[in-house]
Amino acid sequence: MSSSSSSSFSSCTLLIGLLCVVLLGGSLSHGQLSPTFYDSTCPNASNIVRGIIAAALKTDARIGGSLIRLHFHDCFVNGCDGSLLLNNSATIQSEKEAPPNNNSARGFGVVDNIKTALETACPATVSCADILAIAAEESVSLAGGPSWNVSLGRRDSTTANRTAAGLFLPGPTEALPSLKAKFLAVGLNSTDLVALSGAHTFGRAQCSSFINRLYNFSGSGNPDPTLNTTYLSTLQGICPQNGNTTVVTNLDLTTPDVFDNKYFSNLQVQEGLLQSDQELFSTTGDETVAIVNNFTANQTAFFANFVVSMIKMGNISPLTGTAGEIRLNCGKVNNSTGSDGLLYSSM
């Protein structure tokens, strides 16, 4: 292990302790979640979500990757509680403006469209946190990936935590020890890390997420040595020095809009786009290398492990029972409780 990696690991040991403080409630329990939660109150919820995503895909091929990322970024900050969706207000500093999300997280309009449709079909019933969980599964399924029974019954937070989002969301330029520590802090192991990273088999990333690898990696004055030289030239053409860092390119250069295991075979030939991707295979001697090799050779194993890991991630500290609320507008907390006991908010 390099000195820089040792330093990263030391800092991440502290990170685990800090996260326990930030994750109020701290439990990784799935509480009262159940795949049948809406069977009687909103039986068509998943079909409604799927239909809206399918329509969005006709004009936005990257929306599936964007939606699964929203679920990921929601769950890693105070649990899967829809806090990422809250906008700024007099009392809330939105997580949308935390560095890992600012000008990067997207798909909020599609989430709003889903919420509007669900409010029409089943008023004040389906939470925004559950919308993100369902949307993640439907996005994967629509792209040719596995399907699974999504555990439901999460409720929505009335607060957000921009500071935690800035500290604890895994970033694209992080070394493997830091990534593993952030996953471990929320109860996810190395297999979960590799499997969930496989969601980068579809979607796009901005130049700002990987330009650190193209010209002056870690202050060396040279590109990242774990980046395939032909791929490097391609990426330098897309992201020139001092160019527009909001330009996007495919996370998976082989099958960019299909959910498959090509992401892992890309890593084997040093064609992972993000540093955090390539670290999974190029960190010599780490257990993640064997996991990448297994998923490359066996797509069925990848799909099976991905489903398990998605369910585990979706179970991080949900609000259930009477905790939180069912937001009527995913971007803001409900304003008041009426005399009839129903929660109201202007849409």
Residue list, annotated binding site for Ca(2+)? 74, 77, 79, 81, 83, 95, 201, 252, 255, 260
3-state secondary structure of 270: coil
What's the rounded Cα separation, in Å, for the pair 112 and 118?
10
Enumerate residues 6+ apart whose C-beta is below 8 A from 9: 1, 177, 178, 181
Quick one: DSSP state of residue 325?
Answer: B
Token reading at 150: 């999504």
Cα separations (Å) of 195 from 48, 76, 311? 27, 16, 12
Binding site membership for substrate: which residues? 170
Q: What are the two backbone dihedrals, phi and then psi, of residue 108, each rounded to the nearest 5 degrees? A: -65, -35
Binding site membership: which residues? 74, 77, 79, 81, 83, 95, 170, 200-201, 252, 255, 260
Q: Which of 61, 125, 201 is nearest to 134 (CA)?
A: 125
Quick check: is 73 catalytic? yes
Number of continuous H segments (helices) and E segments (strands) in the chain: 13, 4
Q: Which residues of 276-307 are buried (b: 16+ CB within 10 A; e: fewer)?
A: bbbbbbbbeebebbebbebbbeebeebbebbb
Residue owning tokens 């960190």: 283
Residue type, 275: Q
3-state secondary structure of 152: strand
Measured over the CA atoms of residue 162, residue 163, residue 167 and residue 168, the dihedral's sign is: negative
Single out the catalytic residue among 69, 73, 213, 327.
Answer: 73
CA dihedral 164, 169, 172, 178 (to 10 degrees): 100
State CA 249 to chain mean position distance.
18
Q: Is 88 exposed, middle or buried (0-12, 13-18, 19+ CB in 10 A)?
A: middle
- Which residues are catalytically annotated? 73
